[in-house]
Structure 1
Amino acid sequence: MRKRTPLSGETTPTENDRQFVTALSRGLDVLRCFRPKDRTGLSNRDLAERTGLPNSTISRLTYTLLQTGYLLYDEPTGRYRIGVPALSLGFACLGSMPIRDAAKEHMQRLADYAGDGVQVALGARDEHTVTYLACARAENGMMSLQLGVGSRISLARSAMGRAYVAGCKPEERAEILELLADHYGPDRWPTILDGIESAAAQISETGFYVNYGGWHDGVHSVAVPFPMPGDATPDMAINLGGPAHFLTKERMENDLGPRLLNVAQSLRLHVTQV
């Protein structure tokens, strides 16, 4: 079974932990399987493959989620889709993060300055991915990156993900590295780890990290860690990305990187004053 990585400060749930409800955890794992690109839905077999759970367990979980409205069932295809009640959870999550509202104006201003095809985003960790919590694009600009709120990108290979790892607490960083090492395997992990460590070194020196095609060919991006005080709001990272031909090395390192760092510093000041 794929286990959820504990948040910083949490103990790992075990079968002997009487406070931990395994059935609830598995049901949430099923919901987490669905991605925006799964437009035709997922079958029980798909869900079993993504969770590592037995087919019989998946059948009981999808039946329960169907009865409560969190899943919808398309009988002709035998596939499930996310139900409307699940949407309310997402909006409740976003609504509990007032930093998003404070960030939007700064992000939009930077996106407009950066120009066509550039996107500025705020994100937080979700296991071995980063989920976008807010996005801004240049007004009337071309759509370069087809990403929006709720999109998930690589924690290990993207600028935002690597900035997040660099800025999180040491205990969580150790957990993340263990999770990613298991996810990528011994052949790929050394190269991935080199990229993560290089990002941390660059952030230590300049405050930001620039990724040249490491996430996707033809995409350059720069990111800054944005750790949050306390445990009520997740740590985050802010990034700016777009077409490589438009975001040159000179522009990223001497203009947009420092501007993104200024955005993060302004938001940190806002957090301390709230």
Structure 2
Amino acid sequence: MKKRTKQAGSDIAVETVPPASGDRQFVTALQRGLDILRAFRPADTALGNQELAERSGLPNSTVSRLTYTLSKLGYLVYLEETGKYRMGVPVLGLGYACLSGLKVREVAQPYLDALAEHAGNGILVAMGGRDEFSMIYVACARSPGVVSLQLNVGSRISLARSSMGRAYLAAAPARERETLLRGIEARTDKARWPRLHEEILRAIEEIETRGFCLNSGEWHADVNSVGVPLVPLHGGGPVLALNCGGPAYLLPRERLENDLGPRMAEMVKKIRYSG
């Protein structure tokens, strides 16, 4: 049975698809504990058990036991004055361990910096990987400027609606892509799904024909972006994706199509890694 919750207007949801019943190797309690940690977002300072229950879809009693255990282990810190929890330092250690294992970040960063400088004032260039139905930024670069998307390493964006997410879907193995598309359909309003599905298929076709996909206001109104997939040369590493985005008046579709898109398609050929 799929478990999902999502706050209105948010790209972020805790959504997990447990394995088929009878998988005796799967530890459900561990999954639920990780769901609690995944419920926290970069903008959150602290969350109470009720908020965590709403975001995770877990019963209040289960959440109380999980937050108590996670606080005893240091992954959560209990704030007595508010009765809420914030993330503990050990979670940061896990995050940095993950980033240090992605050696491709070191290879990619100079290319991201160069593209951001070329793109100009206020444009964000990023690389990310998938977590359930979101993409998480693992590297970023931006030119100095007053205007810029307020996203950084650790930020989440939509898998279904962003150029980065759609680039990922284009490069994902066929079985994984089919599973993700079914999950996206299940969490999308029926009236909205045909158009969203068409946009995703169009992006996949763009990746296949010219190596990049365009997004004109389909993630957020007045924000344009271009995305490209980054696939390891010999397998063994995760499929990643890159995007370049900013306010539509700074990034008109013509520039994405004729300049930044082709540049990014060539850039990933130089970044491609061995996993």
TM-score (norm 2): 0.91
Give the CA deviation at 1:86: 0.5
Distance in 1, Cα, partners of 2:266 & 2:179: 29
In structure 2, the partner of 1:125 is: 130
* 1:4 pairs with 2:16: yes
Task: Give secondary structure in 1 for the equivalent of 2:182.
Answer: helix
Indicate which of 184, 196, 208 corresponds to 1:204: 208
Task: Give secondary structure in 2 for the equivalent of 1:237.
Answer: strand
In structure 2, the partner of 1:103 is: 108
Distance in 1, Cα, partners of 2:68 & 2:159: 32
Task: Give secondary structure in 1 for the equivalent of 2:85.
Answer: strand
Indicate which of 72, 83, 89 corresponds to 1:67: 72
In structure 2, the partner of 1:52 is: 57
Is the CA contact 1:160–1:223 (under 8 Å) kept in the aligned structure 2? yes
Distance in 2, Cα, partners of 1:169 & 1:197: 15
Number of aligned residue pairs: give it. 263
Task: Give secondary structure in 2 for the equivalent of 1:184.
Answer: coil
Is the CA contact 1:44–1:59 (under 8 Å) kept in the aligned structure 2? yes
In structure 1, the partner of 2:34 is: 28
Distance in 2, Cα, partners of 1:226 & 1:160: 10
Give the CA deviation at 1:152: 0.2
* 1:145 pairs with 2:145: no
Distance in 2, Cα, partners of 1:220 & 1:90: 29
In structure 2, the partner of 1:265 is: 269
Task: Give secondary structure in 2 for the equivalent of 1:185.
Answer: coil
Q: How does 1:12-23 map to 2 (within 5 A)?
A: 13-23=19-29
Distance in 2, Cα, partners of 1:235 & 1:50: 27
Distance in 2, Cα, partners of 1:205 & 1:232: 25
Quick check: 179-188 or 249-258, which moved more? 179-188
Is the CA contact 1:14–1:20 (under 8 Å) kept in the aligned structure 2? no
Q: Deviations over 1:7-53 (max 9, x none)?
A: xxxxx5245222111111110110000001112x1111111111111
Distance in 2, Cα, partners of 1:183 & 1:38: 24
* 1:159 pairs with 2:171: no
Task: Give secondary structure in 2 for the equivalent of 1:187.
Answer: coil
Q: How does 1:120-269 map to 2 (within 5 A)?
A: 120-138=125-143, 140-229=144-233, 232-268=236-272
Task: Give secondary structure in 1 for the equivalent of 2:228.
Answer: strand
Higher share in helix: 1
- When the two chains are superposed, the root-mean-square deviation of aligned CA atoms in Å is 1.6
Q: Percent identity?
A: 51
Structure 2: gaps spanning 5 or more residues: 5-14
Distance in 1, Cα, partners of 2:166 & 2:20: 29
In structure 2, the partner of 1:9 is: none
Distance in 1, Cα, partners of 2:181 & 2:232: 20
Distance in 2, Cα, partners of 1:128 & 1:92: 22
- In structure 2, the CA distance between the partners of 1:14 and 1:56, relative to structure 1 (3 Å rule), is farther
* 1:94 pairs with 2:99: yes
For 2:121, give the aligned amino acid: D
- In structure 2, the CA distance between the partners of 1:176 and 1:229, relative to structure 1 (3 Å rule), is farther
For 2:164, give the aligned amino acid: M
Give the CA deviation at 1:74: 1.4
For 1:257, give the aligned amino acid: G
TM-score (norm 1): 0.92
- In structure 2, the CA distance between the partners of 1:232 and 1:82, relative to structure 1 (3 Å rule), is farther
Quick check: 225-234 or 194-203, which moved more? 225-234
Task: Give secondary structure in 1 for the equivalent of 2:82.
Answer: coil
Is the CA contact 1:107–1:120 (under 8 Å) kept in the aligned structure 2? yes
Is the CA contact 1:224–1:261 (under 8 Å) kept in the aligned structure 2? yes
Q: Deviations over 1:200-228 (max 9, x none)?
A: 11122211111111111111100111122
